[in-house]
């Protein structure tokens, strides 16, 4: 008897092809649309109904069962509130990482297994093998960075078939199969609000923020910000500080509502040779001191050679090269060749 797999179908081409591939491989496939967000925002209509219909259309084309799981309440609590609280605290959290940890590979997995599934599958460009998380074959699309907080147990119940393919091959397969989503554009922006930028989203959630001073490396007032929580380390654009050399954000004081900038690209506050991490998560085994690893400090950032150590109870990543604009709240993810070891949140 073939294994029963519930595929998270978002209405996009990647998850559509995921369902088609698993069907070809002989699995008993059910498509599931996760309704995580439906709220409209100023100037933006949430496309969830269109995405739901696209996913359903593909399920009908493939001849598979299809259902919807409504996770909107849990999503708000576990992902959106986490993200908003992070920005309010002055850090830059990653909601996509939390979505994978809390919703796709916990809530969706648990609900699907309780519903009779043996496995779940997603349209991620990564690979799940024997409880290990591996990078996707397509280095340009690899999404393993977003998945580093998934557990070994969840990976043993998860399939990611398009991780074995490059993106053009996925598009070509969708066209070959005549799938309704073959030409649909990839969604951009925050995972739950599509084309709405983070600033617009935070304004809708929190309202206008108090203005405050922008101070340069010499302690001089050079401008006024419209809310310290909107600014992130290394940011250059949107500062409204005119004239001369470009300014870069190097720090914030949330209590005093101050944003600090510099025109000096060699400013020590812009560069790091060490990372202190908290909220550590290791998928299989923790990393060993004295072993060479690579670390990625943001999605699609270059991998940097590193080693690790524990110093005064603090987990530290030692970088071979200086890395620019490390931002508290972001994740640093360790790799051992193409295997994701795990990682933590930068402090």
| C-beta separation of 179 from 38 below 8 A | no
Q: Which two tokens stand for residue 181?
A: 């989503």
Sheet holding 4-8, edge to edge: 65-70, 28-35, 4-8, 119-121, 158-159
Contact 182, 174 (CB under 8 A): yes
Residue of 347, 302, 309 whose CA lies nearest to 326: 347
Note if 46 is an active site residue.
no
Look up residue 192 and give its DSSP letter.
T
Kindly name the residue from 59, 99, 190, 222 that is annotated as catalytic. Answer: 99
Instruction: Please count the CA atoms within 13 angstroms of the CA of 214 that sit on its side-chain side.
Output: 24
Q: 59, 117, 165, 191: which is the annotated catalytic residue?
A: 191
Beta-carbon-side half-sphere exposure of residue 126 (alpha carbons within 13 Å)? 24
Catalytic site residue 191? Answer: yes
Secondary structure (DSSP) of 57-81: HHHHHHT-EEEEEE-HHHHIIIIIH
The answer to whether 105 and 154 are in contact (CB under 8 A) is yes
Tokens of residue 269, six digits:
């506050």
Q: What is the 3-state secondary structure (H, E, C) of 276-297?
A: EEEEEEECCCCCCCCCCEEEEC
| Strand extents, DSSP E, 180-242 | 212-215, 221-225
Burial class (CB in 10 A: 0-12, 13-18, 19+), 216: middle
Query: What residues are labeled active site?
Result: 99, 191
């Amino acid at each position: 008897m073939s294994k029963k797999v519930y595929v998270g179908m978002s209405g996009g081409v990647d998850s559509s092809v995921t369902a088609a591939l698993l069907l070809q491989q002989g699995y008993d496939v059910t498509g599931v649309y996760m309704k995580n967000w439906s709220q409209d925002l100023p100037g933006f209509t949430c496309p969830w109904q269109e995405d739901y219909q696209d996913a359903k259309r593909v399920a009908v084309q493939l001849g598979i069962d299809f259902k919807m799981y409504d996770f909107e309440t849990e999503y708000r609590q576990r992902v959106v509130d986490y993200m908003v609280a992070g920005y309010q605290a002055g850090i830059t959290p990653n909601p996509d990482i939390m979505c994978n940890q809390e919703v796709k590979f916990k809530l969706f997995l648990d609900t699907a297994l309780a519903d009779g599934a043996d496995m779940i599958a997603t349209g991620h460009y990564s690979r799940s093998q024997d409880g290990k998380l591996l990078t996707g074959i397509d280095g340009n699309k690899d999404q393993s960075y977003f998945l580093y907080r998934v557990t070994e147990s969840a990976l043993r119940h998860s399939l990611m078939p398009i991780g074995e393919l490059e993106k053009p091959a996925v598009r070509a397969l969708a066209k070959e199969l005549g799938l309704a989503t073959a030409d649909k554009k990839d969604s951009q922006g925050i995972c739950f609000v599509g084309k709405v930028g983070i600033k617009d989203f935070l304004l809708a959630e929190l309202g206008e923020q108090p203005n405050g001073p922008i101070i340069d490396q010499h302690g001089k007032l050079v401008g006024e910000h419209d809310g310290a929580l909107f600014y992130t380390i290394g940011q250059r654009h949107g500062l409204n500080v005119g004239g001369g050399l470009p300014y870069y954000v190097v720090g914030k004081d949330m209590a005093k509502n101050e944003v600090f900038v510099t025109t000096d690209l060699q400013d020590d506050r812009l560069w790091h040779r060490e990372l202190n991490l908290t909220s550590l998560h290791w998928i299989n085994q923790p990393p060993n001191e004295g072993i060479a690893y690579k670390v990625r400090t943001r999605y699609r950032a270059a991998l940097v050679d590193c080693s690790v150590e524990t110093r005064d109870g603090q987990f530290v990543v030692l970088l071979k090269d200086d890395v620019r604009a490390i931002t508290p709240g972001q994740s640093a993810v360790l790799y051992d060749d193409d295997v994701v070891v795990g990682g933590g949140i930068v402090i």
